[in-house]
Structure formats: C-alpha cells, structure tokens
Structure 1
C-alpha cells in the first residue's frame, strides 16, 4: 500500500474515512439468539471505538451483560487496501472463549462484512460466523452477527444497536 493510496482512503468518501466516522462513545441494546427466532437475552451495552494505527484501524472495546453476567470484548477492524477487504479480529469473555476469531470480507450495500469460523469443540465441524457493521447516519451504528451451520444454514445470533452516547456534563 502506498502512502498516497492510504491518503485517498482517509479522505472524504474513502473506506478509512468511513471507518473513522464510527469512532466515539456508544450505548445501546445487545440482543442474543441461540436458536433462530428465539430471543435468549437482551440488555444494555456500552462501547468505545477509537482510531488507532495512524488512522488505519478501529479498536472497539465494549461491555455488557448476558443472563445477568458481565462480559467484555474487543474487536480490531480495518480495511486492507491491497486486498480490497474488510478485516476483523475479535475476542470477548463470553462468545469466543479463549480464541480470537479472524474474519475477512467486503463492503456491500454500505455495510462492512466479514466471514470467519469457529470450532464446535475438540475436532468437531467448524461453524461460520458472519459480521456486518453499518452506519446509516452519524448518530447510529448497527452490528449484526450471524451463525452459519456446517451445512450452510444462517441465522441472526447477535445484534447491537448503538446510538452515540451523550457527552458527560461537568
């Protein structure tokens, strides 16, 4: 990647400019499904997204509760200019156990998307995990994650609907 290519991407309308627009403090609703169509849990979630690496990446740190238990997580998001691909590394205290999920994908219909996979345990079949991130306006950010069975059936598993957090008043 050349310096000029990154500068174009960081300029208005570029992919890195679009990512940087997601930076800020967020609060919203976390929803979880273990089975298609059967909501398992819903709670508040707070997140902070920071631009890191000289504008090349976003770091999303978040916390919430699931079934009354506190969880926290982190995701590193970026856009790989040479491969023309959105990339993500994600881990949390609830959903990924002790693994880090690596995902990659494209941008479609204004949504950043990435596909990764995880093991069902001790050599079992791998399941897919697709993440979509969309920002329809500067004040809202949606993150949706889909579970994909080894046979290819896909269902919504996690949805986070964020709104920008109000600044703390002194």
Structure 2
C-alpha cells in the first residue's frame, strides 16, 4: 500500500525535521527593543514535544526579561496542502491575551514564518513579526524574531540559542 503524504513527510520531509526537535533544550535569550541596543540577556529552557502523532510539535519555553519570568508556547506544524510551515503562538509578555497565527516558507535548515500583531492603542495598522528557526545540528537550534513596524524595516527583537540537554 502506498504511503500517505503525511507518512512520507514524517519519514523524510518537513514533519521529520520538526519531529527531530523533540526533547529538552537550554540556552540564552537576547532581547532588543531598539535597533542594535541589547536590552536583556537571560537563560532559557524549552521542552519540545510531539503532538497528534507527529503532525505538530509543542514548543514550551521559560525565560525572563529584566528579571521578570516569562513563558510561552508555540504549536508548530507543516501544512502539506499549502506547503508552508505554520504556528500559533501565545506567551506572557509579547502576545499578552492575543494568539498570533503565522505561516511561511521552509529554509535550507528550518523555516521563516511571518505573522502580525496589533493593539488599537498603537493605531489601526498591524505590526509584522517574523520568526526564523535554524537547525544547526541535532543538538543546537536558534530562534530569531524580528519586529516589523508599519512602513519600516524589520529589526531583530529576539535571539534564542539552544543546546539539547
């Protein structure tokens, strides 16, 4: 019997890549609020688990910002029909009470996903938020996030370098 597209992806495609991220990770998160001005550097811990038989992973992380604890969760997957990586993201700092939905392209060693966020206090236009994952090797990954103010160039906001523990 022929394998389904999902079974093929789980064996040697995008789902295989994200499945290989399952485990415990420790590292450092750097945060910028202004271009090239490092605001904070804090230890980070993440647990990545497989959910729904490998269709998605749950990336659960804890860190701090200026001494205050923060935590978050991303549900990350690969949409086979549209050939895009996707995520839903919540956290205790950046997103507040919102849920960001994002999608984007595979890269050579991970993905680049674009979402948006907003707040009526900041006006009607939404801000962009681009997240990249680079898989350095089986035991090291890097997440970058870039804030995109309406009408402006993107600026690095977050960099988290993890090593598998």
> By how many angstroms is 1:109 displaced?
2.6
Corresponding residue number in structure 2 for 1:117 = 116
Deviating 4+ runs (over 3 angstroms) = 120-123
Please give the root-mean-square deviation of Cα atoms over the aligned residues, in Å. Answer: 1.4
User: Match of 2:6, SS?
Assistant: helix
How many angstroms apart in 1 are the aligned matches of 2:97 and 2:118? 12
Corresponding residue number in structure 2 for 1:84 = 83
| TM-score normalised according to structure 2 size | 0.95
> By how many angstroms is 1:3 displaced?
6.3
How many angstroms apart in 1 are the aligned matches of 2:34 and 2:108? 27
Corresponding residue number in structure 1 for 2:128 = 128
Question: Does the Cα contact within 8 Å between 1:120 and 1:127 map onto a contact in 2?
Answer: no
| TM-score normalised according to structure 1 size | 0.92
Structure 2: which 5+ residue stretches go unaligned?
none
Corresponding residue number in structure 1 for 2:15 = 16
User: Match of 1:44, SS?
Assistant: strand
Q: Does 1:52 align with 2:68?
A: no
How many angstroms apart in 2 are the aligned matches of 1:109 and 1:154? 21
TM-superposition CA deviations, 1:61-105 (whole Å, max 9, x none):
111111100111110000000000000100100111110110000
Across the two proteins, how many residue pairs are aligned to each other?
163
In 2 relative to 1, CA 16–152 (structure 1 residues): closer, same or farther, beyond 3 Å?
same
User: Match of 1:49, SS?
Assistant: strand
> By how many angstroms is 1:30 displaced?
0.5
Structure 1: which 5+ residue stretches go unaligned?
166-170
